[in-house]
């Protein structure tokens, strides 16, 4: 529209060998930079209800062990332990409703042998 100022500015960028011109808004300029997720915190990937918690705080677990069951959209999703380690904090309880990206469990990465795991059982 003539006479109306825009809060955008044309910028040039280069990706590999290709050059592009684009409008970047002030909202884009102020966005938070990407930061990788904290692998020690297991979060809900979808909103739902915690049906069963299969671990306890302080428990030594191996990758692939059952962590908990999250029911979402009438389907039960079994979450498995993503790496060998120790459960440091459980943030949920059975019957609790959780939103997407809610921290469910915190873990500490560590080497766990079968002997250590059986000792805990």
Residue 62: give its domain's CATH number.
Answer: 2.40.50.100
CA distance 114 to 119: 9
User: Is residue 24 included in any domain, yes or no?
Assistant: no
Residue 81, domain member (yes or no): yes
Q: Which of 52, 55, 57 shows the shortest CA–CA distance to 95?
A: 52
Task: Name the percent of the chain lying above pLDDT 70.
Answer: 84
DSSP letters for 58-70: T-EE-TT-EEEEE
Q: Is residue 93 part of a domain?
A: yes
Residue 118's pLDDT is 59
Total domain count, the chain: 1
Tell me the residue range of the domain where 91 lies. 41-120
- pLDDT (tens digit per residue) in 30-69: 888 888 888 899 999 999 999 999 999 999 999 999 999 9
Q: Is 72 among the domain residues? A: yes
13 within a domain of the structure (yes/no): no
Q: Is residue 45 part of a domain?
A: yes
The whole-chain average pLDDT of the chain stands at 87
CA–CA dist 106, 88 (Å, integer): 6
* Residue 56 included in any domain: yes
Residue with tokens 């469990």: 105
pTM listed for this prediction: 0.68
Task: Please tell me the distance from the alpha carbon of residue 78 to that of residue 119, in angstroms, as a whole number.
Answer: 25
């Amino acid at each position: 529209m003539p006479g109306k100022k825009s809060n955008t500015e044309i910028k040039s960028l280069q990706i590999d060998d290709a050059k592009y011109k684009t409008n970047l808004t002030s909202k884009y300029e102020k966005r938070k930079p990407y930061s990788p997720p904290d692998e020690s915190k297991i979060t809900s990937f979808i909103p739902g209800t915690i049906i069963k918690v299969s671990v306890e705080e302080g428990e030594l677990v191996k990758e692939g062990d059952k962590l908990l069951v999250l029911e979402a959209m009438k389907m039960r999703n079994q979450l498995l332990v993503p790496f060998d380690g120790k459960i440091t904090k459980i943030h949920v309880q059975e019957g609790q409703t959780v939103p997407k990206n809610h921290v469910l469990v915190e873990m500490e990465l560590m080497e766990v042998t079968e002997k250590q795991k059986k000792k805990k059982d």
